[in-house]
Chains A and B, each alone.
Chain A
């Protein structure tokens, strides 16, 4: 088994001609749950996009599951199948004639050209299991565009868990979930890590959740400002350095655990 599922070395990514992420290096130990935190516009989503090969990088290396990410974002299909990405939401405009079960089924199919009816029986079985596992068994026949924000999040998670993976990347996946759904979500992530050896990287603004659930934190504000265990990385002086003095004042007035400020895209 690999020690590190993801290795990043001196990564710099530009957006609109300016560095959005600069000289970032870190690695994700296998079966760890790592949080990527930082203020709005810190480059968190850009970093995630670069790790997945969705945006070009200016310099640096990314190694996923022992395979180097190509300069054009290419990875072997077998590696792609083992990585799942859960975006903040889907921008569905109007009626979208796709059922939840069909959508989750696309998460099961490997990349590359294939007739849609190929492997239908095993796909159907995997979709049924994924829907049960994420508490979406009632939603299979519903249209994707008919779901509430919280239901859509659970369905996106079903899309990720419909086949065995090694790395799950979440971009503010738990924003918009109610307390019970957040708890179930975290429970499932824990189960996936402990029982199936998944590694999780999640962009989050919920520092309480990060402190409770994650075992590594990466603090990003264009550059990697600090990293380590939540107790180390989320100390008030570190947060002040990352977010500015207001967050720490808020923490002292309202909580014993600090809260960040949610945003749409970091």
Chain B
């Protein structure tokens, strides 16, 4: 078996940028990356990183159920993800088991259920590869409109409820005593995260969606000293890494989703190095 060598041709960049599907993909990457970074900012502080992973895996089950029932999977996915997120939230709150262990059980079982259900499907025109790793190059203008609207809704809700979100993240009782409707906001955030995962999974894939939520936010957390800056840096890093990853993928013919995640990882490493150097300088002075 031979190794395929990726070909990088800088002269191809204008040609890559000129193709309509690549233009849609770049815009989709920018919006999805920004959305992931924005929601991830709160998800990582609330230790919901694993929750987004479980949601991603459950999305595969939702898609498969849609195929089996003969319904368009994209129509099934959002209600499925929301119901799944609400059920998991109830389970986590009522169970006396550690959250990470419980979420591990849930996402392994979802994945196993989805693979078993897929084995009952004769053929799926989308292909399992696309489900797992996404197909951002196949993103349509309608998809872009949905993701753009979702970004606007998320941004408006999180900014209007910033005080509630931060206090809830710090200490639920402190937030409750300060007049924050903790139960309502906790649920609203989880539903929003579920919808974002469900909408983004087509472009990013079930295996890589949690990277879009977790990695830019972790990098932003290392770099920021003020909360609005943290939200901005995480969102910008999410969008910028997606753009760079997609361009690299377009120039090298490597898969798009994994290329974006590798760029995110490189961004995270840079943020880590920068924050450590800053800490050393701070302690030296």
Contact = CB atoms under 8 A, between A and B. Distances in A.
A13 to B, nearest CB: 14
A6 B173 CA distance: 19
Overall SS of chain B's interface: helix
Q: Which of B161, B179, B220 counts the most chain A CB atoms within 10 A?
A: B179
Interface in B173-225: 173-174, 176-180, 220-222, 224-225
Nearest to B177: A85
A52 B177 contact: yes
Interface in B26-79: 45, 47
B176 A54 contact: yes
Interface residues of A, number: 39
Interface in A72-105: 73, 75, 77, 80-81, 83-85, 87, 90-99, 102-103
A111 B174 CA distance: 12
B213 to A, nearest CB: 17
Contacts of B161: 113
A95 B222 contact: yes
B225 A49 contact: no
B92 interface: no
Given A97-B221, A113-B160, A116-B162, A91 B178 contact: no
A114 B160 contact: yes
Contacts of B167: 106
Bin the interface of chain B by size.
20 to 34
Given A53-B176, A90-B171, A111-B180, A97 B224 contact: yes
Interface string A177-216: 0000000000000000000000000000000000000000
A112 B167 CA distance: 13
Given A106-B163, A114-B160, A115-B160, A97 B226 contact: yes
Interface string A105-141: 0110111111110000000000000000000000001
Contact of B166 (A52, A80, A106): A106
Contacts of A99: 225-227
A196 B71 CA distance: 65
Contacts of B47: 93
Nearest to B176: A54
Contacts of B164: 111
B153 interface: no
Main SS at interface, chain A = loop
A94 B166 CA distance: 15
B268 interface: no
B170 interface: yes
B115 interface: no
A42 B151 CA distance: 48
A47 interface: no
B159 A116 contact: yes
A33 B42 CA distance: 38
A111 B178 contact: yes
Contact of A73 (B176, B178, B228): B176
Given A80-B178, A115-B160, A95 B170 contact: no
Contacts of B226: 97-99, 102
Given A90-B171, A92-B170, A54 B162 contact: no
Contacts of A87: 171, 173-174
B133 interface: no
B225 A143 contact: yes
Nearest to A114: B160
A75 B224 CA distance: 36
B160 A109 contact: no
A173 interface: no
A36 interface: no
A5 interface: no
Contacts of A75: 179
Contacts of B107: none
Interface string B131-175: 000000000000000000000000000011111101100111110
B160 A49 contact: no
7 contacts: A52-B176, A90-B174, A97-B220, A98-B226, A106-B166, A111-B180, A115-B160
Given A80-B179, A91-B171, A143-B225, 20 more contacts: A52-B177, A53-B176, A54-B176, A75-B179, A77-B179, A80-B178, A85-B177, A90-B171, A97-B224, A98-B226, A98-B230, A99-B226, A99-B227, A103-B166, A106-B163, A111-B163, A111-B179, A113-B160, A114-B160, A115-B160
